[in-house]
Amino acid sequence: MLHVFALVLAASAASAQTSPNAQLVQELLQADPAARHSNNIVQDALLDAPGLIRKYGYPVEVHNIVTADGYIVQAHRIPHGRDANNRPGPRPVVLVMHGLMCSSADFLVLGPGNALAYVLAEAGYDVWLANARGNYYSRRHIFLDPNDREGLEFWKFSWDEIGNLDLPALVNFIIANTGQQKMHYIGHSQGTTTFLVLNSLRPEFNEKFISFQALAPSAYVEHNENKLREIMVQFESVLESVAFSLGFGEAMGGEGWRQIFTALGLTLCNDQSFLQPLCVFAILGAGEIENFNKTMLPVIVGHNPAGAAIRQIIHYGQVLRFNRFARYNHANPLTNLAEYGSLTPPEYDLSRVTVPAYLHYGKNDAQSDYRDVLLLGERLGNTIGVYPIERETFNHFDFIWGGDVRTQLYDKLVDIMRSAERALDQNS
């Protein structure tokens, strides 16, 4: 979601000065006759992820998991299905990780029958939806304060830490809780980046996964035609210090922003609003939207963006700028030296990622160019397959919001996961 970068910076700058309040949200909602929306759209925009799961009759557990460096990350578990496979019991586990500025809600907003989390639960999986540190559900730490604008200590992390520290805590917790020694991993976009970080930095984790299902994988950007590249070349090195000195380390997160976006989504993005096309553009850029159900927009905006650290965005900027998939480049090279033992950050060694990998790409995905996905497939230690989505216009957001994503991808994903389980049984 790099294209929202400018918007993010502007919005974060604004958030440093004004704190959105519930009053404004109430006024916005009152100005809009509720009759404009079906009850479901309003409800689903206002409910949080566990609330959505509960509303649709699925079992849900909320787990708060403490990382080695004290962040408290939240996982939402759907232990079994509602209509099929609907009794408790040991089931194959799948850990699902969202993309940049997103949350566990990505895999729920399309609702039962369409959203990935429900499809997996009905197919017989024990579904664990992760939330990365700093997002709406994981904005907590055992002693650091995310709202402290002085030191901003809470916000000094990128997706390197999410892969290196959040994922191990989640994986170890799930193993202890379920007794299952291995699990599938599904990541979307940044959720794939963090998996590569984990298994390249800590290869002992490879054996804990049955398969890696990479949806719109993000690592190499050699073919990315993002205009941000030129901006990053000029400004990347000063972005962090400028952002931190202005007092913000966070991009559009927390309760205040969530309320504002929810209210804006319900009032401006509904089917009757003449501004709906603008909402589409704000969320998807100029992307292809033929299979995107616009009626769902208020629900999507009710859950996105879900916040992130500025450094996560800057770290992607560095990948673009240096054309290297490497660890975070600190502004002061001496910090690099202290942390990595070298003045420039080392590249992630993807040959160390040996989990059976299945890469799924859209041919119209501007954020994860298919040529870079093919390159990743060549460099990973154990690529089993690289799969194009059939529809030519399938883009980055169709993976989570596409009206046809179940038939284009999710059903096939379940088949592939089952075949990976069979392969594992045969080898053991």
Ligand X SMILES: *[C@@H]1O[C@H](CO)[C@@H](O)[C@H](O)[C@H]1NC(C)=O
**Judged by CB, which is closer to ligand X: 256, or 287?**
287
Minimum CB separation of residue 147 from ligand X in Å reads 35
Minimum CB separation of residue 31 from ligand X in Å reads 22
List the catalytic residue out of 15, 189, 218, 368.
189
Specify whether 419 is catalytic. Answer: no
**Judged by CB, which is closer to ligand X: 295, or 344?**
295
**Judged by CB, which is closer to ligand X: 388, or 403?**
403
Minimum CB separation of residue 357 from ligand X in Å reads 32
The footprint of ligand X (CB under 6 A) covers: 293, 295-296, 403
Distances (CA, A) of 393 to 188, 371, 387: 18, 16, 15
Residue nearest to ligand X (CB): 293
CB distance 72 to 66 below 8 Å:
yes
Specify whether 211 is catalytic. Answer: no
Distance CA 396, CA 192 (A): 13
Distance CA 356, CA 218 (A): 17
**Judged by CB, which is closer to ligand X: 53, or 95?**
53
Distance CA 194, CA 154 (A): 19
Minimum CB separation of residue 317 from ligand X in Å reads 35
CA end-to-end span of the chain: 40
Minimum CB separation of residue 413 from ligand X in Å reads 20
**Judged by CB, which is closer to ligand X: 293, or 344?**
293
Catalytic residues: 189, 396
